[in-house]
Structure 1
């Protein structure tokens, strides 16, 4: 980052030496492994110009989200304190992928030409992480403003938003605007995969929806699906589009533009009102006139990625959760969380008892609620990290989570966990174990998750170095299922998974993988070199969280050098520190210092360590990507020529 006059930051000094705990050493081991693995990953798959060794052509609308996902953790690891070269690699790869998929035809004006917000959400996590990595990038600030304009109604070419009816005009949107008519070519890369998915309609000829499968690879069935999608799904709004709020919040954190906040409140509020009109249940399809079920015989179910789609409730509650967390971040108004709570409560009230456990419906067919199974307990956790409200803890506890969620996960070398089938493709697996730790229920979690993450890096490197990981074996322009599935290879081979490191240092779960911003209670900057992340050799552990406090341990594992770290109140500077107390192992206060700032500097001597309890007011500052040295509001944007 450029060096600018520093703001005045309250500072405390820690010179008391401490015995280095195991978790602190394991953090340094993991960071070292991740740094080395990231370099090997880039060397294996990235050309000198940032492009990827792959096919000469790629059809359909799918595509760019997968390579972006494969490499996005380069930027995230840099933000956590990974080596400085990671930022340059991340920058090069993002630009390379953007250019390459523009040439393939999926990207236009540096953004996906058209696709849904399940996949936009996945891919643009990389873009959001770059904001955390370097808010001074004029390119990224300019892109953020332009991309937001695709969804606020400011861009004539990308006419995605209807401000009169307060809706995004199609489930398929992007830099070319709404895609009201999909083609068989748009979906061709998915056909083989979707053979194993639930049929999107109940009235497809000759298809028994109760089998849970639908032969998209059958040409006649495929044509009928595309026709029905264009009739019933291609026009109007769906809850999945709420993931676009992260793109708007991202732009807001560069600029502070109040019109972006107004848009978010208007759009999220419109979906809140639609649920209210529908007896509290979030409808999954709204027509261009704002009517629920407008193209679906008046049914509130049956929309794109909605209640009758394979994912069901998952693709209702997840974008709603992302949206309400973004709304609280931008406005400080906790009442937005009620919109997600209402959906969780309605779903819970429909529960049944099966084999001694409660199960809840995940789908709604014409015949009623169906697909009853154990609930996913992570969504109350995400709400709790924002609210710190006991009611969200109660929502978690009532679910009685099954072991698949409570046990620390490590996939096998095949890339799948043998018990859950979960892939490294979306490896955010240990939210519940972290939550139990932060509630004081598992003091062994820090060491266990760090060891597990080290093992995951080892497994992924073994897979990446194998013949399966050789990118020369993926270079094919065929259209078999195996040829087309190579789009996921970078995700499957990626060894850069810092989940435990992020949880323990930032005091938060990892982002929701389909488009959630990386919320956090604290983040760090290396004060000596003025860059994001923990200084090398400094380990951090968030031990406790309350509405008004965070308890944090800092340990300088370096016996030869002092360290200087700046702690930020919130992942986006949205909180405010008030006082910091040095406490001993028994929790007794040794000294108290006033802070009253969004930043606190801690200078640690060689081998020094401390436990700090910091009081804070949450959601009182405008969220921003600004750093202690970089004031984003001083950076001008470029206004290009306008043809008259």
Structure 2
């Protein structure tokens, strides 16, 4: 492994480096306080309430989803131990509730399973040497291979919207046996099915007979066959494949994704949302390509479909090292953007309007490009701004985030300040894509400092909420813990890895660079070290490392989340003699530098970073050269002796 030694002294500490180290220190204290307040000694969450219907597994895993991510970024060593402890404790807890069998969800939709999965995925990525989690990864992935009951290789479909360790679980859940007008919070989404005889509007559901008829139709027509959000299940197989490249997992993912690609191609490029038991799109919906569970008609449309399609498309990139299948989501995004109109009064335009207005800081006069999120018999409806994350991920995969045509179109059509760092925090640890894009494009140079200030504010608020919260929620309030999780990793992911955080609904954590601690043989920033990725282009990554501490550190820089990229050459700065200067003088001398470039030809380099030094790296890379694999940072004897 090529080793580069940093020689440039830290003459002044960059503010971003100070803030980054302060954030890591506060996060280390924050997760411990959450654990002390809300967890039992065996790792489960403190809860004496009940569970209702089929829903809830995701809500018990979600409060911890990014704790292993924090470890992988440079959090304390024991945060990973804590994450494993709580995964196992919560899994036992949910098994006792009857929601989990053999450590996996008994059977539920993949919109919610996708929310459960990031916690498990991030543990696997953080410590691939853990044989127990490796065995779990394979066992969970095998649930969706042919012959298990969840997948039909003849029709190339996952056979039901609700699947899991119990096989297909028909219907859409006991809580939808009736769909009544008095079900709080659902009126804004309208009717789940728009062609049930005698039901034309929401008020019709006040009739008990109509409520039962709608519920029965939902169970029969939405509770069988495949649905587009099932595409997120491919992550289970890719995660298992990353351990030992078992061809069965790769073959299944590509077969399943290609089946959906064919259906989209037959539908003018738009991904349909349903496939019947016979393998035919629209089989249970009068031939319509819309109407499936968590599909285009109800409840969220694009909000559900775009993330899961993006997850599947990126999974194929990891498997194949090519971009051949990203059209799965790109064509769908282009189709809804073609229907877009620039209008004002965002908060009043659709089912999710108030949330969008709050996120964008929009008033009634703010104009945005609004696209339809949903589709029914009368065409497209329910308009909102384009979700940036799927568009950003496509641009990131293709290499040019700063000049992507889709992103540029969205920015040009927006009255919102794309450079503003808005102070909010959602459970997905996303939503600040626009100012980061501006930073990479050179329009937003102080983004790192402002974003890290935001991240600190997010943690400080969560800690204040924890201080005033009860030790456990009321019966049924199973979203309590995710509202209080004080671990924030969105900004750190952007600045340290050069990538957005993983897509919340079952996405793998991807990266342009992963930083490792060569001395402690683990992923993450070594003590006292801060990192800033300031450029990510198809063949170029700019990375600065600063050792703010008083001990030498050995930093490993890996190209790609799974070692898939290659560092062709590494440019770096070297200090000229003259610092710290003559102790009889009182001025602090400047630090002139020169640039050097070394050939690498590998996925990793080592950087010896002495105390109080910094280095600016300019990495020439070739993407997706090597077969992706889960990576550890244990050094070989040869590397240790180099």
Q: Secondary structure at the match of 2:427?
A: helix
- The residue that corresponds to 1:415 in the other structure is none
Q: 1:311 to 1:47 in 2, by over 3 A?
A: same
- The residue that corresponds to 1:417 in the other structure is none
Q: 1:227 to 1:311 in 2, by over 3 A?
A: same
Q: 1:392 to 1:179 in 2, by over 3 A?
A: farther
- The residue that corresponds to 1:410 in the other structure is 423
Output aligned runs, 1:107-126, within 5 Å.
107-126=100-119
User: CA offsets per residue over residues 202-243 of structure 1, 9 Å max, x none?
Assistant: 24577655x7x9979x86555333311122111111110111
User: CA offsets per residue over residues 517-556 of structure 1, 9 Å max, x none?
Assistant: 1111011111111111110110000011111111100000
Structure 2: any 5+ residue segments left out of the alignment? 345-366, 576-590, 637-642
- The alpha carbon displacement at 1:557 in A equals 0.5
Matched, 1:366 2:368: no
Output aligned runs, 1:101-140, within 5 Å.
101-140=94-133
- The residue that corresponds to 1:63 in the other structure is 56
Contact kept, 8 Å, 1:580 with 1:614, in 2: the verdict is yes
Counterpart Cα distance in 2 of 1:259 and 1:335: 20
Counterpart Cα distance in 1 of 2:163 and 2:65: 22
Q: 1:504 to 1:227 in 2, by over 3 A?
A: same
- The residue that corresponds to 1:48 in the other structure is 41
Counterpart Cα distance in 1 of 2:264 and 2:60: 35
Contact kept, 8 Å, 2:532 with 2:544, in 1: the verdict is yes
Q: Which of 402, 424, 427 is equivalent to 2:426? A: 424
User: CA offsets per residue over residues 135-187 of structure 1, 9 Å max, x none?
Assistant: 111111111111111111253xxx11111111111111111111223452578
- The alpha carbon displacement at 1:581 in A equals 0.6
- The residue that corresponds to 1:503 in the other structure is 494
Q: Which of 393, 408, 412 is equivalent to 2:404? A: 393
Q: 1:402 to 1:173 in 2, by over 3 A?
A: farther
Matched, 1:223 2:190: no
Counterpart Cα distance in 2 of 1:564 and 1:73: 25
Q: 1:573 to 1:347 in 2, by over 3 A?
A: same
Output aligned runs, 1:53-202, within 5 Å.
53-55=46-48, 57-155=50-148, 159-185=149-175, 192-202=184-194
Q: Secondary structure at the match of 1:552?
A: strand
Contact kept, 8 Å, 1:171 with 1:238, in 2: the verdict is yes
Counterpart Cα distance in 2 of 1:214 and 1:602: 68
Q: Secondary structure at the match of 1:139?
A: helix
- The alpha carbon displacement at 1:626 in A equals 2.5
Counterpart Cα distance in 2 of 1:608 and 1:367: 64
User: CA offsets per residue over residues 582-601 of structure 1, 9 Å max, x none?
Assistant: 14899996111122111111
- The residue that corresponds to 2:277 in the other structure is 288
Q: Secondary structure at the match of 2:42?
A: coil
Q: Which of 588, 595, 613 is equivalent to 1:590? A: 595
Counterpart Cα distance in 2 of 1:26 and 1:251: 36
- The alpha carbon displacement at 1:262 in A equals 1.3
Output aligned runs, 1:245-264, within 5 Å.
245-264=234-253
Contact kept, 8 Å, 2:400 with 2:536, in 1: the verdict is no
Counterpart Cα distance in 1 of 2:173 and 2:304: 23
- The residue that corresponds to 1:434 in the other structure is 436
Contact kept, 8 Å, 1:62 with 1:186, in 2: the verdict is no
Output aligned runs, 1:271-350, within 5 Å.
271-350=260-339
Contact kept, 8 Å, 2:510 with 2:560, in 1: the verdict is yes
Counterpart Cα distance in 1 of 2:452 and 2:508: 23
Q: 1:390 to 1:54 in 2, by over 3 A?
A: closer
Q: 1:379 to 1:402 in 2, by over 3 A?
A: farther
User: CA offsets per residue over residues 546-590 of structure 1, 9 Å max, x none?
Assistant: 1111110000001x2111111111111111112111148999961
Output aligned runs, 1:27-38, within 5 Å.
27-38=20-31
> TM-score, normalising length from structure 2?
0.88
- The residue that corresponds to 1:629 in the other structure is 634
- The residue that corresponds to 2:612 in the other structure is 607
- The alpha carbon displacement at 1:123 in A equals 0.7
Matched, 1:25 2:15: no
Deviates more, 1:440-449 or 1:224-233: 224-233
Deviates more, 1:54-63 or 1:590-599: 54-63
- The alpha carbon displacement at 1:317 in A equals 1.7
Q: 1:220 to 1:123 in 2, by over 3 A?
A: farther
Q: Secondary structure at the match of 1:487?
A: coil
Counterpart Cα distance in 1 of 2:635 and 2:161: 37
Q: 1:410 to 1:125 in 2, by over 3 A?
A: same
Contact kept, 8 Å, 1:457 with 1:496, in 2: the verdict is yes
Counterpart Cα distance in 2 of 1:402 and 1:566: 42
Counterpart Cα distance in 2 of 1:202 and 1:630: 60
Runs of 4+ in structure 1 off by over 6 angstroms are 186-190, 213-216, 584-589
- The residue that corresponds to 2:356 in the other structure is none
Q: 1:44 to 1:391 in 2, by over 3 A?
A: closer
Q: 1:405 to 1:301 in 2, by over 3 A?
A: farther
Matched, 1:14 2:6: yes
- The alpha carbon displacement at 1:195 in A equals 4.9
- The alpha carbon displacement at 1:515 in A equals 1.3
Report how many aligned residue pairs link the two structures: 594
Structure 1: any 5+ residue segments left out of the alignment? 1-8, 412-422, 477-483, 632-644
Q: Secondary structure at the match of 2:601?
A: strand
Q: 1:513 to 1:182 in 2, by over 3 A?
A: closer
Counterpart Cα distance in 2 of 1:554 and 1:221: 64
Contact kept, 8 Å, 1:281 with 1:346, in 2: the verdict is yes
Q: Secondary structure at the match of 1:623?
A: coil
- The alpha carbon displacement at 1:392 in A equals 7.4
- The alpha carbon displacement at 1:322 in A equals 1.0
Deviates more, 1:187-196 or 1:382-391: 187-196
- The residue that corresponds to 1:576 in the other structure is 566
Contact kept, 8 Å, 1:197 with 1:214, in 2: the verdict is no
Matched, 1:449 2:471: no
Q: 1:603 to 1:354 in 2, by over 3 A?
A: same
Counterpart Cα distance in 2 of 1:447 and 1:86: 25
